[in-house]
Amino acid sequence: MDGNICGFIQHFTETIGLFDLFYQINLQNITNKRQKSTNTVVVGIRSVAINDQVAELLGSL
């Protein structure tokens, strides 16, 4: 059980790191273009994707 928890935490951390990386890249591109409406969409997609990932990972435990 402990091994599963550790694996889950590591995978979860890596996943969030990837989302943060893509989010920063998108945010930088959006800032350069000054497209506020797109910024809102990216943040919304990021939140939904992370929530889905969390639900999937918790379901697998």
Assign 3-class secondary structure to 1-61: CHHHHHHHHHHHHHHHHHHHHHHHHHHHHHHHHCCHHHHHHHHHHHHHHHHHHHHHHHHHC
pLDDT value at position 3?
64
**Where residue 53 falls among pLDDT bands split at 50, 70, 90?**
confident
Give the mean pLDDT of 44-55.
68
Residue 45 has a pLDDT of 61
Claim: this prediction has a pTM higher than 0.75:
no
Mean pLDDT, to the nearest integer, of 5-29? Answer: 74
Higher pLDDT, 27 or 44: 27
Separation CA 44–CA 21 (nearest Å)? 16
The mean per-residue pLDDT over the stretch 9-26 comes to 74
Cα three-residue angle 54-37-17, rounded to 5 degrees: 30
